[in-house]
Amino acid sequence: MIDTFTNTVLFVMLVLTALAIVRMERLFAVVMLSSVFSLLSALLFVTLDAVDVAFTEAAVGAGISTVLMLGTIALTKPEAKRPRHTAFVPLIVVCVTGAALVYGTLDMPAFGSPDAPAQTHVGPDYLSRTPIDIDVPNAVTAILGSYRGFDTLGETAVVFTAGIGVLLLLSGLRRRREDEDEEI
């Protein structure tokens, strides 16, 4: 009962934070609320017993992303530009995509169902083989480090690539500003 209440409160706070982010015009406030959103997501993952995902969300979402966005704000204007027209086509695309995602979840097993495919063969197989194959006391660490090592490597590669991309973009902005300063 208390778990459901906690999850519901965190989810409502996530929705309210997302709505506040959409309505904000000051980019600094958007960055701070995005960081709050990531921390709330991490809390929700902790209550759902996904501590490894919560740690990643807190580190990447609230940590690295916030630093990168603050660095970007330092190089741009502090307020977002007002759009000249209303964007109906993107709104329609988002609504259709959301409806397709909801439709896709209708066939899923109930949340926490013991008959879900992950609970019937994959999870028990990992848990039974972990002490024999890996001999690491923490099952989550053993599974992520050994059985799911390529996933973890892929996630690391994505974060590294994003960091390199941001550095390249920032170096281009600095060069452009230096060229503009020389012309004046």
155 part of a folded domain: no
- pLDDT score for 173: 62
**Residue ranges of the chain whose pLDDT lies below 50:** none
What pLDDT sits at residue 41?
Answer: 94
Domain assignment present for residue 36? The answer is: yes
Terminal CA-to-CA distance of the chain, rounded, Å? 66
Using an 8 Å Cβ cutoff, are 71 and 25 in contact? Answer: no
59 found inside a domain: yes
Number of domains in the chain: 1
The C-alpha angle with vertex 54 and arms to 95 and 66, in degrees rounded to 5, equals 75
* Domain of residue 38, residue span: 1-81
Exposure string over 85-106, b if 16+ CB within 10 A, otherwise e: eeeeeeeeeeeeeeeeeeeeee
Domain assignment present for residue 71? The answer is: yes
pLDDT at 175: 63
Is residue 12 within 8 Å of residue 21, measured between CB atoms? Answer: no
Task: Return d(Cα 106, Cα 87) in angstroms, integer.
Answer: 29
